[in-house]
Structure 1
Amino acid sequence: MTDLSQYLPILLFLVIALGLSSLFVFLPMVVSRLTGAHQPTEAKLAEYECGFPAFEDSRSQFDVRFYLVAILFIIFDLEAAFLFPWAVSLGDTGWVGWGTMMLFLFELVIGFIYAWKVGALEWE
């Protein structure tokens, strides 16, 4: 039989987090309606998508460059996320860890050069 009381702090944390997040979302809405600050206009209710007006037709083509830039950002962001734990544990991993990270960075630089040469970073 397992003792479920050890999960009580986690449950308490989740309840408090849910309560606070709900409070931060719904309290400004309630206060704006009670104080009369809620005055929606057409401009306030308009969608905002990447600096250009929303599409009229949901089946219209979308420029693939947005996705390419997002994927490249994620790749280089993950690379930066891998560097911090590697730097912290470099004393434990030694030369093998250093060599592995240099190989990873080399592959990343090759990918960056390829993306640059293909023109994936160009925005026209």
Structure 2
Amino acid sequence: MLTDFAFLLLFLLGGAGFVLMTFTVSRLLRPDRPNEEKVTTYESGEDPIGSAWGRFNIRFYVIALVFLLFEVEIAFLFPWATVFGQEKLIEETNGLWGWFALAEVFIFVLILILGLAYVWKKGFLDWVKPEQKQSDYQSKIPASAYKKFME
């Protein structure tokens, strides 16, 4: 008699065998005609220029983090919707559970809206760089050096 670990091992071996078999068959069937165009680096439809160690604007990173934050928080709404849709649970609690769950999700969405308002107010969602305000501080570094650094 096989134990649970033996079943797990069989599934892992079967999955690995299926992947290896698929790669082997595709390698045998596909045409193999590499040329210069096919082996060049491709990035969003543009030919690469210079080194890959170039500087990127921090806005891309911030936008990605905000996107991930909201996507992960939205994932928490699915279990809530599943529990909220259980009529039996709502009937057993005389409707109290339904009102509690509804209030809970409104608080959750309110927190999401406040987070969105915060990043919007701070300008993290703007793609255009805001104008720099003039300061009374006089730097000893010429302005041309700043412009060259910002490029």
Does the pair score TM above 0.5?
Answer: yes
Match of 1:119 among 109, 119, 123: 123
Q: 1:51 to 1:64 in 2, by over 3 A?
A: farther
Q: 1:53 to 1:110 in 2, by over 3 A?
A: farther
* Identity fraction in percent: 31
3-state SS of 1:88 partner: helix
Map residues 33-112 of structure 1 onto 2, 5 A cutoff.
37-54=31-48, 56-90=50-84, 91=86, 92=89, 94=97, 95-112=99-116
Shift of 1:19: 2.0
Count residues in correspondence: 118
Larger Rg: 2
Shift of 1:50: 4.1
Which protein has the bigger helix share?
1
Gaps of 5+ in 1: none
Q: CA RMSD in A?
A: 2.7
Which residue is equivalent to 2:25? Answer: 27
Q: Residue 108 of structure 1 aligns to which amino acid in structure 2?
A: L
Q: Normalising to structure 2: TM-score of the pair?
A: 0.62
Q: Normalising to structure 1: TM-score of the pair?
A: 0.73
Structure 1 range deviating more: 51-60 or 83-92: 51-60
